[in-house]
Structure formats: structure tokens, C-alpha cells
Amino acid sequence: MSKKMLIFICAFILLFQTNVFAAQTKSAEVEINKFKVKVNNVDVANNNLLYNNTTYVTIRAVAEMMKLPVNFYKETKTIYIGTVPEGEVPASILSTWSTTAPAKSSVTLEKPRKVKINLALNEVAIKVNGKKLSSDNIVFKGSTYAPMRVVAQMLGYGVNVHVPTSTVYIGEVPKNISFEIPKPTSTSTGKMYHVAATGSMKGWQLLKGHKYEGKLEIYYKINGTIVSTQVKDIQKIDLNKKITWIDDSGKKRQNTVKEIYTMFGTFSEYTSDWFYEKFGELYTDWLLSSTADTSGIVDDYLEATGQIESSGSFVTLTPDAVFE
């Protein structure tokens, strides 16, 4: 049995009346399946969403992989994975709930693309073995999505991004590839501080002094137990600059940065490996705002300054919690 049980949040298709979530929705631009995800070096065939520079994954596989029951209490709009805190749900309701993990679902992977969708934000609460996730969640097409990093961190597992191949590794990482493993959470704020944001971001806090200063602006906002983050890419890039590169036939080509950026979004024709091989740092700079662990930077800062409690590991895994 693996020492590290894979934590990946996958599809949770709600099996309850759809009118429970018939609340206000918003239109937002997301990227579907921008990243490949591996848990303990095993490919995870589930859809994910990139929204506000945070990768959201569906919930159902948490219960599947942890072999924990998952239930929904419509009176408080709360999803429970695993144990339920005493007194939160009437005994008459608990007696009807499933006590076993859901059967594994078959998921059809959607084509990677940018698209505008209608989503409901924070319409439900999510609790894993009684501990509430202090992060945004999304309800989209009857499925609930939560930030991949938050659940992994909550359970004590690392999340690493291999930028050249747009691959997210949860838990164990391969030994035959080279990428930087994130440093342990710092217990000091270093030179970081925050100021009140202005303009269109009024009401948010702008984090200053982080390692991406000058390239990314990182904003955060605390609403009760929910920490929201937004990122703005402020890299000074000359979109009209011409880049010379060699195609697969050996022919020399020349395109503007703007044209190449457009090509980067054409995932149906080219792979991340191909982009990195041909364009190197130009590709990694284009990915920066979505691959930088900005949520982690904000969490570290807020924990170090006492604005939120350290998440730690709040879930006790069952003896048979293994990745299959």
C-alpha cells in the first residue's frame, strides 16, 4: 500500500434535485483541461477547470479514492465526505445516508479549450471528515469543483507543477524529470506586505514583496473563512516582436509573439511538450500566471501574519485508503 494516498478532487455529480442550486449564477471565462494531472505518478482521467488562475477539480474521486462515503444535506447545502460532526444532521436523515464509498464513475474527457460558462460560486459548503474547506467552490453542470491545492494541502500532500509539460503532480513525483519542488511553507512573512487595492480591484488587498513582483500582481480577499485570490499578468511583452523558430520539417519560420501566443491556445493541434521544445521560456512565461502557486503564497502570508489559522492535516485516513 502506498505511503501517500493520492488526493485529487474529481467529478462529484450531485444526485439530488437540481433546483437546490437554482440560485444566481455568473458568466466567467475558464480553461477546460489546461493541465494533465497525475496522482502518485498515475494519470487521472477527469476534467478540470482553470478559473481565476486556480485549478479546480471535481469532488467525486475524493470519496472514490479515499473509500469514504459522500452525502449531501440540502437544508444547509453541505457536502459531507467521510464522517459527519455530531449534531449537524438529524439522526433520521443520517440513517438514510450511504456509509460506503461511491462506485467509480466513467468520465468523458472534454477537449481542452477556453470557454465562457455560467457557474455558481460558493453555493455549497464542503466538509471532509468534519473539516470545512476554506476556499471557493464552483457548481457547474451539476458537478461541484474545489481548488485542487487546498484539499491536497489540507490532507498534507504536496502539489507540484511541471511547467514544460503542463502537468500537475499530486503526492509522489517522478525521479526521471527535472523540476523545482516547492520549498516548505515559510514561517515568516519576509518582505511581503499588503496594501489596499484601487480601481477595478477596490475592496481587495494587493500583496507586495512576493517572488513574482514585477511580473504578477496578486490580490486576495477574506470573507469569513473563505480566501479568494486573483492574479494579473503585468509582464511587459512586445506582442509585435518577431520570433524565429524551426518547424517539424526543418523549415525556418518567423512569427510575432502575438501569433505564437495564439498558437499556444490551440491545444487540439499541439502538445505542451511540443510548445516547450520549440519555444522554451516564451512558453513558460505565457503559462506563468496559471502555473505560479499564487494561492499558496497568499495562504503562507496570511498564516504567517495570523490572519488565518494554519490548515495543517485535519483528516485521519482510513486503513484501507489507497489509490487504485
Q: How confident is the model at residue 189 (pLDDT cuts 50, 70, 90)?
A: very low
**Residue type for position 123:** E
Strands 193-196 and 113-121: unpaired
Residue 156 lies in a domain: yes
Contacts of residue 2, Cβ cutoff 8 Å, sequence gap at least 6:
40, 171, 172, 322, 323
Cell of 35: 493541465
pTM over 0.95? The answer is no
Task: With respect to residue 304, please indicate whether it lies within any of the assigned structural domains.
Answer: no
* C-alpha–C-alpha distance, residues 32 and 245, integer Å: 28
Question: pLDDT over 90 for what percent of the chain?
Answer: 18
Q: What is the DSSP letter of 81?
A: E
CB 94 within 8 A of CB 187: no
Q: Is residue 42 part of a domain?
A: yes
Which run of H or of E encompasses 58? Answer: strand 54-58
- Give the pLDDT band (50/70/90) at residue 178: low
The answer to whether position 318 is within a domain reads: no
Q: Are the C-beta atoms of residues 255 and 242 closer than 8 Å to each other?
A: yes
Please name the amino acid found at residue 242: K
Concatenate the DSSP letters of all residues of 14-52 into one string. --S-GGGG-S--EEEEEEET-SEEEETTEE----EEEET
- pLDDT band at residue 65, thresholds of 50, 70 and 90? low
Mean pLDDT of the chain: 76
For 86-106, write each residue's pLDDT tens digit: 999 999 999 999 888 777 777
Tell me what the mean pLDDT of segment 271-284 comes to.
82
Q: At what angle do helices 272-279 and 257-264 cross, to 10 degrees?
A: 160
The verdict on residue 74 lying in a domain is yes
> Rounded to an integer, what distance in angstroms lies between the CA atom of residue 311 and that of residue 303?
9
Residue 69, domain member (yes or no)? yes
As a whole number of angstroms, the distance between CA 54 and CA 30 comes to 10
Local confidence band at 223 (pLDDT 50, 70, 90 cut-offs): confident
- Closest to 87 in 3D by CA, of 49, 130, 33: 130
Residue 49: give the domain boundaries: 18-170
DSSP of 128-147: ETTEEP-S--EEETTEEEEE
Q: What is the mean pLDDT of residues 208-228?
A: 88
Do the beta carbons of residue 55 and residue 9 sit within 8 Å? Answer: no
Q: Which residues, other chains included, contact 159 with Cβ-Cβ below 8 Å and sequence gap of 6+?
A: 148, 149, 152, 153, 168, 169, 170, 182, 293
Lowest mean pLDDT among 54-58, 66-70, 155-159, 209-213: 155-159
What is the band of 155 on the pLDDT scale with cuts at 50, 70, 90? low
- The answer, yes or no, to whether residue 317 has pLDDT greater than 60, is no
Structural domains in the chain (count): 1
**pLDDT greater than 80 at residue 185:** no
The rounded distance, in Å, linking the Cα atoms of 177 and 310 is 31
Q: Which residues pair with 222 in a beta bridge?
A: 227
